[in-house]
Amino acid sequence: MKRLRWDAIIGLVGLLMLLVGSYIGLFAAPPERHMGEVQRLMYVHVPTAWISMLVLTAAFGFAIASMWTGRPKWDAVMTGATETGVVLGALLTVQGMIWAKPTWGVWWDWDVRLTTTLIMVLFFTGVLVLRSYVAEPERRATWSAVAVIVGYVDVPLVYFCVRWFRSLHQVQSSPETVASTMITPLRINAFAMLFLAIWFVARRSRLELARLRRESVALPPRRAPRGTAVPEAPQEG
Amino acid sequence: MRVLGQIATLVRKDLLLEWRGRTRGLSVVLFGIVTLLLFSFAVGPDSAALRAGAAGFLVLALLLSSTLALSEGFRLEHENHALEGLLLAPVEPMALYYGKALSNTLFLILLAPILTPVAVILYAVDAGPATLVQVIGLWALAAAGLSAPGTLFAAMTSRLRSQDVLLPLLLFPLVVPVLLGSVKAIALVLGGDPMGQLSSWTVLLGAFDVIYWTLSGVLFTHVVEEGV
């Protein structure tokens, strides 16, 4: 029998926890006083928001490591984290829109939190598109790392904007202001999302690393030593 | 001091090339005017709606023109291996970035005295000379905000055949704060600022400029090392 990889086990645990957390959130936790049943979206929306920002923060760290060391491993993990961050960010935007319609009366509002989140998703999607256009592996690694670092400036802005600007979106709650029956499913789902994200990042990184290895066999690296002339780049994309 | 001298030389070179050729300048100015005209056609003859949207149309004309200007800036450097010549001179990569970003900013600022009066006439905006000076000042902040990441991305995408797609794809989402800040600030200058909000939008523009002029300058060295 084929043995499960460590990340698959974490992913399965995450999936199981998501089912348990969502069950408690849907059926055991009480409805919120003002919003009623629709507030139950919080149990997936808030963990998605936390983990998407966490994963993109990890991508930022991997981008620095990739630029610092020049090792393909970091480039592959950065790509996996960026892809996962984009998927979670898109999911976050859709969940937010579903929650906005019954509570704000509109699917979308040009509120600072929504705008910065959309910028985040669009920019990191652009980074993935950039990667697909650059054929030379080392140049692709550096350019996408540069783009991730440049774009990461938006991520703390997404988190803190509700405190810095007047926003339709509510500010972050603390465990002291939320009933314990609501905190439990929220925490279970937050860890579930984290485990699922680790699984996705690990899987995508492995695939990207395999792709990079295949490329390196077909195309030997040709990094010029520091201080020498920059070799002419071929037309790409 | 050596880096500052190199930056000044690069800016002088770019402006001289622009002055001698004038093709990029003319095409970007014409593009900006056509964009302003198109907005007025899209909205229709409703002068109140045009006046209300004047700040947005003006900044969008700057944003769309900037992609033309930015991509052209690095295309010139690839002709006859000029960029490699500069690096071998040797010009510091950081000086190359700041020289290019500064000349791009100056080029975009020079669009303001042409496009702003055109917008004032087309959209029937009531603006005196003092108002126009304020608008040009805010335009300069917006131009600096567009040029900082724009120059970095233009360098990265200049070798790619799909630069026309990639540059806006990377630049436009990133510069949304510049777009929002400059539109709001210019609208307040043109339409009055009873709540005193102008300073906060100007601070947002200034903060964006400081962050991206610093960050892009540091990262450009790595981009050049991989060969732009």
**Which whole number is the average pLDDT over B121-138?**
89
Checking ipTM against 0.90, whether it exceeds it is no
The b-or-e profile of B149-170 (16+ CB within 10 A means b, else e) is bbbbbbbbbbbbeebeebbbbb
C-beta pairs of B206-212 under 8 Å, 24+ apart in sequence? B206/B141, B208/B145, B208/B177, B208/B178, B208/B181, B209/B141, B209/B144, B209/B145, B209/B148, B211/A153, B212/A150, B212/A153, B212/B145, B212/B148, B212/B149
Q: Residues A24-75: pLDDT tens digits?
A: 999 988 888 778 888 899 999 999 999 999 999 999 999 999 999 989 999 9
Q: Residues A102-116: pLDDT tens digits?
A: 988 999 888 888 888
The C-alpha atoms of residue B39 and residue B175 are separated, in whole angstroms, by: 21
Q: What is the CATH number of the domain that holds A113?
A: 1.20.120
**This prediction's pTM:** 0.85
Residue A222 has pLDDT above 60, yes or no: no
Residues B159, A235: contact at Cβ < 8 Å?
A: yes
Q: Residues A149-174: pLDDT tens digits?
A: 999 988 888 777 777 766 677 777 77
Mean pLDDT rounded to a whole number for chain A: 86
Residue A235 confidence (pLDDT): 52
Residues from chain B that touch A122, judged by Cβ atoms under 8 A, are 172-173
In a domain? residue A231: no
Q: Residues B188-208: pLDDT tens digits?
A: 998 888 888 899 899 999 999
Bridge partner list, A36: A32
Mean pLDDT rounded to a whole number for chain B: 89
Residue A233 confidence (pLDDT): 47
Q: Residues B212-222: pLDDT tens digits?
A: 999 999 999 88
**Selected residues 109-168 of chain A with any CB under 8 Å from a CB in chain B:** 115, 118-119, 122-123, 126-127, 129-130, 133-134, 138-139, 142-143, 145-147, 149-151, 153-154
> Is A232–B81 a contact, with Cβ atoms under 8 angstroms apart?
yes
Domain hosting residue A195, numbered range: 6-172+179-215
Cβ neighbourhood burial of A215 (10 Å; 0-12, 13-18, 19+): middle
Total domain count for chain A?
A: 1
B78 touches chain A (CB under 8 A): no
Residue A229 has pLDDT above 50, yes or no: no
Of residues A173 and B20, which shows the higher confidence score?
A: B20
Residue B160 confidence (pLDDT): 81
Give whole-number Cα distances, B21 to A221, B15, B17, B24, in Å.
Answer: 39, 10, 6, 7
Confidence of residue A236 (pLDDT cuts 50, 70, 90): low
A99 touches chain B (CB under 8 A): no
CA distance A71 to chain B (A): 14
Enumerate the domain spans of chain B: 2-225
Q: Which residue of A has its CA nearest to B225?
A: A230
Residue B76 has pLDDT above 70, yes or no: yes
Residues from chain B that touch A118, judged by Cβ atoms under 8 A, are 173
